[in-house]
Chains A and B, each alone.
Chain A
Amino acid sequence: MTNYSNLLSLIPLLPILSAVILLFSNPSRLWVSILAVGSITSVALISSFLNYVYWQQTDFILKASLGNWISIAELSISFGLYLDSLSLVMITIISGVGALIHLYSTGFMSQDKSFKRYFIYLNLFVSAMLFLVLADNLLLLYLGWEGVGLCSYLLIGFWYQDKNNNLAANKAFLMTRIGDTAMAIGLFLLFTHLGTLDIQEIQVKAHTVWSLSDNTIASICCLLLLGGAVGKSAQFPLQNWLPDAMAGPTPVSALIHAATMVTAGIYLIARNSQLFQLAPDVLYVIALIGTFTLLLGASAAMVQSDLKRILAYSTISQLGYMFLALGVGASASAVFHLMTHAFFKALLFLSAGALIYSLHHEHNIFKMGGLFKKLPVVTVSFAIGCSALASLPFTSGFFSKELILEQVVASGHITLWWAAVLGAFITAFYSARLFFIVFLGQAQLSPDTTPTKSMSLALIILCLFSLLGGVQPSGLISLMPPLHADNLTNLQHWLPIILPFIAISFAWWIFKKSQFGRTHTSLLQGIHQLLKSGWAFDHIYQTIFIQPFKYLCQLNQYDVIDLFYRFIEKVSCILNNTFSQFQNGQLRSYNASLVIFCILAFAWFISGELIK
């Protein structure tokens, strides 16, 4: 098995190696592509091989250590890698989708001046993400966590000449930082109480130290970890950085802000699912957050006009589904949906990227239309992506979403089920709306370039995955046993299957009457505006947090604590001014000061004598 350990350690090292080589050398574009894509592709091959090896086994664990990191007293942290069926699924997604997106990027970014920088960031990101999912302790996980955050920041602000991109990058970085801080505190708390940061040990120890009846600290730990997950996975209340994060290049949006990085939060909770089982209240909170976010995201996606923003909101919404599944205790189905979502959302983003590439960076869907004939590959892939998103039967999205809904019923949260079904309806509706507006109807803009071969290749492979990827990895079920759902009513069974068709027909009806993009009454207009701004959370945060903070800053413009130091400074300035008056270069005044000193000294002497 040592062979496999070496393979395992290669997985996160290859991308970072390629990033370092790219950083310190200056190869031609072709070699940059070969190196960057090659490293990720090798990782993808290694993970496919591991998949093949462990196909039949369900309870396998593979460990590797890259060396010691920190060793102080009883705290010992190593660069330890840990592979089980959950992390195997994750590395397969990351490396597979990552390799395809790298391939795609060679075409998409071919005109860009910072070609090399882009691939350095992207490789670094993949490496950090692999460290995140392979870490055997929470600190290494946190390292990867921050690494992907950094890469996300760098890539959102990739076109840094535009101020808006920098603002979006700052927003994403700061909002996720809120969650990361909570998570760091959670780690400290876990270490103080359990004395270890090893993930597996934590799961075991947590059950011996805490119990269901005495779970206050466990709940606090879980809530803090949840804070990190919420920030990273763009869930309510930290969801509004994701739509702005679309400022980055489209393949980045596909890789980081749809397929992989945003799922880190889901991975974190799924990885610690045994710990979270100790805190049912927190699980319920997770379910509520997920439900709320999925409705929020779906409704906001319904009215957007920017192609990428629609997809961003739909990502938020789909992540909400995963949180819902985690919350009801169905981690396996959450990870399953994560996988299928990674496929079809990457496909959607890449098709959107191809569209944008062909239409000179046009993002507004109402300026598109009738692209069906001109861009057949993109149309087909977009159609497949949309149908998977809408969970039409026999696409990958269908299997995972049905599973989640089924598990929600099995857990007994019927209200949440209805909300999720409503979300599914809206999802199908906006997917159809998006597809109809962009590809059907009257032709407006005409594309002058067609996607390059590498882009088309990546799209086709992802199409296959999106269609056929609906197979739940067997290892997951054994690792995180699903709930048994045998009491489904007919309604609960058939409604989610029929609903997408109803939604699509509804969208078609509206589209035929060409009612999209226009509103009649002021009430509708108001709702439209509200939804379009993502339920106005930016404004709410602006008024609740930013304005008071600015006000406080304004109040404290002359820093209260600084006043003391400024006082010292002022006193010394005054003293300086006073005393520099004496240094006037006049010999006679120096003499005079000498005499004055003598006078004072004698006066002091005399007064002393008189007192005697």
Chain B
Amino acid sequence: MIPVSWILFLSLSLFSIGIFGVLARRNLLFILISLELMLNAVVILFIAGSRYHSSSIANSDGQIMYLLVLTLAASEIAVGLSLVISMYRQHHHLDIDKLNKLRD
């Protein structure tokens, strides 16, 4: 008997941890890791929603949305990691605080 609030609490804790990572880390690789955590927090909600909404008939919408998020995450990581590589090649570091040319 797992109440919904537990799952929600887990999800938002995970999300907050992800946000902390995004805000606190300066290494691009860690920011990507934090983004993965945040995505997972959302995914948990989808799965839980899919479970709790199929009270009488089976409802697979949440899981299908999970699939979409999964592909999204895969694409995002592919692009993000290629950016990491390109950044490392050009600057020989991954510190995003030094990438502030957009200011001017």
Contacts and interface: CB of A to CB of B under 8 A. Distances in A.
5 contacts: A584-B100, A587-B96, A588-B22, A588-B26, A595-B19
Interface-central residue, A583, A584, A585, by most chain B CB under 10 Å: A585
A592 B24 CA distance: 10
Contacts of A592: 23
Interface in A571-608: 583-588, 591-592, 595
Contact of B23 (A583, A585, A588): A588
Nearest to A587: B96
A602 to B, nearest CB: 11
Nearest to A592: B23
A584 B23 contact: no
B55 to A, nearest CB: 27
B100 A591 contact: no
Interface string B14-56: 0000010011001000000000000000000000000000000
Contacts of A584: 100, 103
Contact of A588 (B96, B101, B102, B104): B96
Nearest to B24: A588
Contacts of B99: 585, 587
Contacts of B100: 584-586
B97 A588 contact: yes
Minimum-distance CB pairs A-B, first 6 = A585-B103, A585-B100, A585-B102, A587-B96, A591-B22, A584-B103
Interface in B78-104: 96-97, 99-104
A44 B26 CA distance: 94
A442 to B, nearest CB: 81
Given A592-B23, A595-B23, A585 B101 contact: yes
Chain A, interface size category, equals: under 10
Nearest to A590: B102
Contacts of A591: 22-23
A218 to B, nearest CB: 72
Contacts of A586: 97, 100
Interface string A407-425: 0000000000000000000
A144 B99 CA distance: 71
Contacts of A583: 103
B30 to A, nearest CB: 12
A200 B63 CA distance: 100
A406 B102 CA distance: 92
A interface SS class: helix
B76 to A, nearest CB: 16
B interface SS class: helix
A67 to B, nearest CB: 62
Contacts of B19: 595
A591 B100 CA distance: 14
A285 B52 CA distance: 105
A584 B19 CA distance: 20
B86 to A, nearest CB: 16
A587 B102 CA distance: 10
Contacts of A595: 19, 23
A294 to B, nearest CB: 75
Contacts of B101: 585
Contacts of B26: 588
Contacts of B97: 586-588
A584 B26 CA distance: 15
A344 B101 CA distance: 82
Contacts of B103: 583-585
Contacts of B22: 588, 591
Contacts of B23: 588, 591-592, 595
Contacts of A588: 22-23, 26, 96-97
Contacts of B96: 587-588
A595 B38 CA distance: 13
Contacts of B102: 585
Contacts of B104: 585
A155 B96 CA distance: 71
A286 to B, nearest CB: 73
A235 B96 CA distance: 81
A585 B26 CA distance: 14
Nearest to A580: B103
A583 B103 CA distance: 6
A495 to B, nearest CB: 91
A585 B98 CA distance: 9
Nearest to B28: A587
A207 B97 CA distance: 90
B94 to A, nearest CB: 12
Interface-central residue, B23, B96, B104, by most chain A CB under 10 Å: B23
B23 to A, nearest CB: 6
A591 B22 CA distance: 8
A591 B96 CA distance: 12
Interface string A78-105: 0000000000000000000000000000
B87 to A, nearest CB: 12
A586 B101 CA distance: 9
A560 B103 CA distance: 38
A186 to B, nearest CB: 62
A592 B103 CA distance: 16
A336 to B, nearest CB: 81
A595 B104 CA distance: 24
A583 B99 CA distance: 13
B8 to A, nearest CB: 15
A588 B20 CA distance: 11
A205 B100 CA distance: 82
Interface in A470-505: none
A269 B86 CA distance: 91
B51 to A, nearest CB: 26
Nearest to A598: B19
A595 B23 CA distance: 9
